[in-house]
Homo-oligomer: A and B are copies of this chain.
Amino acid sequence: MALIVQKYGGTSVGTPERIQAVADRVKRWHGEGHDIVVVVSAMSGETNRLIALAKAIMPDPDPRELDVMVSTGEQVTIALLAMALKKIGVDARSFTGAQVAIRTDSAFTKARIEAIDDARMRADLGKRRVVIVAGFQGVDPEGNITTLGRGGSDTTGVALAAALKADECQIYTDVDGVYTTDPRVVPQARRLDRITFEEMLEMASLGSKVLQIRSVEFAGKYNVPLRVLSSFADEGEGTLITVDEETMEQPVISGIAFNRDEAKITVRGVPDTPGIAYRILGPVGDANIEVDMIVQNVAADNTTDFTFTVARGEQKKALAVLEAVAKEIGARQVVSDDKICKVSLVGVGMRSHAGVASQMFGTLAKENINIQMISTSEIKISVVVEEKYLELAVRALHTAFGLDQPKA
């Protein structure tokens, strides 16, 4: 008998029929004797409907009032799921974020959880009730409704699991786990049984959008075992995300992530003086443009080239900022390219295995793929290559690092 937190996303609760299917699944787990807390999102499409309604009144809606409104999406789902459970004979109770209470700061539309009161949930669990909690929302010190920002229901699930010291937090989604890479690009991609929090963070932030990054950070910080499962496939173990256990036999590479949504910007002929990186990236940050990879090579002839990547949608805005900056600092030229992509190897096994980088570069060379940028971290190596080589690069690396599914 375990205490399990299950989180179901918007697609999993998108219709009354799907809500009933979720109830059936919850009943199975509950029937095995487990204590179950369920976190749900708004029915798919509902949050967008509410935001559109708000924008019909006020193009840039007041954040406090937007949270009052948008939080109703999850409030509807919790009630429907409680009804669906009662209908099949399982006692259940729904709670809004404020009712739990999930206490947050007052940063409307992007609040952070500060504390969770588990008394009310424990009282109901003690009566063998299924506890259903609205994801994505909380209450600030003055009793105002807050939301955690998009995708925040994952964070709610993990935070509840941490507060309740749950045995596992199960995230039900439309995929049945975390894969070595995107199966649409590499048909031989394999579902991972386990992955570490750190690897998952690198995979997620690189564009494998299975889980919200914040929820993975949170789970790592509080050591909550996190499992990604499909709410459509009937059973299956999914992927367990856990701490890096020394005794575990680690493969060198766990997965390959990639991202097409980047553009590369290079400032050429930058005077090689202290503080120059700040003078370039400061104005970019001030313009609310997020920068991903940053590469600066050692200087030759007192000038250097400074390159970084941004989301493609921000490319024009970044260029406009940089034209002014370049003149100011006396740089020679600003060039950019959006026909690029980033490919990354991720794996904690990298730490103890030399030669991963050289094997990666060798594999790409063999396919005649030119590397434009390189950036490394302890458990990741990323390269930027021409966009047209994306599939070729990912498939070649997937095979080279032994990630392909064993042939049946």
Interface residues of A (CB under 8 A from B): 16, 19-20, 50, 53-54, 56-58, 61-62, 64-66, 68-69, 71-72, 75-76, 78-80, 82-84, 86-87, 93-94, 96, 98-99, 120, 143-145
Could you pull out 20 A-B pairs where Cβ atoms are within 8 angstroms?
A19-B57, A50-B76, A53-B76, A57-B80, A57-B83, A57-B84, A57-B87, A58-B83, A58-B84, A58-B86, A66-B83, A68-B79, A69-B76, A69-B80, A71-B75, A96-B145, A98-B98, A99-B143, A99-B144, A99-B145
Q: Is the CB of B79 within 8 A of A75?
A: no
In angstroms, Cα B73 to Cα A50, docked, is 11
Expressed in whole angstroms, the minimum distance between the Cβ of A65 and any Cβ of chain B is 4
B54 touches A79 (CB 8 A): yes
Copies of this protein in the complex = 2
From known contacts A57-B19, A57-B20, A76-B72, infer whether A83 and B98 are also in contact, taking CB-CB under 8 Å: no
Q: CA of A20 to CA of B56 in the docked complex: distance in angstroms?
A: 10
Partner of A96 from the list B68, B76, B82 (CB cut-off 8 Å) is B68
Instruction: Kindly list chain B residues whose C-beta atoms are within 8 Å of the C-beta of A94.
Output: 65, 68
Question: Which B residues lie within 8 Å of A75 (CB)?
Answer: 68-69, 71-72, 75
Q: Kindly state the separation between the CA atoms of A86 and B50 in the bound complex, as whole angstroms.
A: 18
- Chain B residues with Cβ below 8 Å from A53 are 16, 76, 80
A62 contacts which chain B residues (CB < 8 A)? 82-83, 86
